[in-house]
């Protein structure tokens, strides 16, 4: 059985964890993600990605700790396993196509750290339990959670969640700026697909440029980030999508990008 279910709906790729009801992020889960990322980046027909999980009970309880204990040595040790996760999440974060995560039920440890690497996060209005409870295990979030959570919600709120091993619900996640929207559970996956379809209709070169520029704003100096934005502008200059956008504006209609 594959760790991921992969489906395409028009230009939206749906990536679904396949270990219900708890949807652990096994070694195979990350292996399959690493292979899939090459396809996402190079396939021009994929314009947006939805990250979700099988069923409607839990997005993910995070890493499969029993499997990690028994099999890490065969993967080059614990550090090698963490290196792979760091590499995969960085690639998700720097994709040239928007990635939308759905948070429902337990979203713990890696089950929050992977969504933190996505560009959009939607949470269920009811039943979500979102957190980084690693301190309860005597350890520290290991997939970039301390860094990405702090950059997303700020130092004070991140410390409050991590040091107290707090699990928050969807409405609080929205209040903190951790998620973009809160949606009734029954509507969560359809809403993610709706948002992805909207993103997929946008001009691909411009979308890629915006994603690079915003990432640069978070990780590089001001001048470097401004240079990245300028490169994105140059990439769009006199492109078919830009010409179509200008024509649509003059003709007072919606643009139809390639």
List, by residue number, the catalytic residues.
113, 134
User: What are the structure tokens assigned to 6, written together?
Assistant: 């992969």
Residues in a beta bridge with 129: 106
| Three-class HEC string of 195-258 | HHHHHHCCCHHHHHHHHHHHHHHHHCCHHHHHHHHHHHHHHHCCCHHHHHHHHHHHCCCCCCCC
| CA distances (Å), origin 122, targets 6, 59, 107 | 20, 12, 12
CA gap 97, 158 in Å, rounded: 27
DSSP H or E stretch at residue 74 = none
Cβ(29)–Cβ(4) below 8 Å: yes
Q: Cα separation of 240 and 206, whole Å? A: 11
Element (H, E) at 24: none
**Is the distance from CB of 120 to CB of 98 less than 8 angstroms?**
yes
């Amino acid at each position: 059985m594959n760790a991921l279910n992969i489906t395409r709906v028009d230009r939206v790729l749906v990536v679904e964890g396949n270990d219900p009801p708890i949807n652990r992020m096994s070694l195979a889960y990350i292996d399959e993600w690493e292979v899939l990322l090459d396809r996402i980046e190079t396939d021009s027909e994929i314009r947006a990605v939805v990250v979700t999980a099988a069923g409607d009970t839990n997005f993910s309880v995070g890493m499969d700790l029993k499997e990690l204990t028994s099999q890490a040595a065969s993967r080059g040790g614990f550090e090698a396993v963490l290196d792979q996760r760091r590499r995969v999440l960085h690639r998700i974060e720097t994709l040239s196509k928007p990635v939308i995560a759905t948070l429902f039920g337990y979203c713990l440890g890696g089950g929050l750290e992977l969504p933190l690497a996505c560009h959009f996060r939607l949470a269920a209005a009811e039943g979500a339990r979102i957190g980084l409870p690693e301190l309860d295990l005597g350890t520290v979030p290991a997939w970039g959670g301390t860094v990405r959570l702090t950059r997303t919600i700020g130092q004070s709120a991140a410390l409050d969640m991590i040091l107290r091993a707090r699990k928050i619900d969807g409405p609080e996640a929205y209040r903190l700026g951790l998620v973009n929207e809160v949606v009734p559970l029954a509507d969560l996956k359809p809403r993610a697909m709706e948002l992805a379809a909207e993103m997929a209709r946008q001009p691909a070169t411009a979308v890629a440029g915006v994603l690079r520029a915003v990432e640069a704003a978070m990780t590089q100096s001001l001048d470097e980030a401004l240079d990245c934005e300028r490169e994105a502008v140059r990439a769009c200059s006199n492109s078919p999508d830009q010409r179509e956008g200008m024509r649509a504006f003059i003709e007072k209609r919606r643009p139809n990008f390639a």
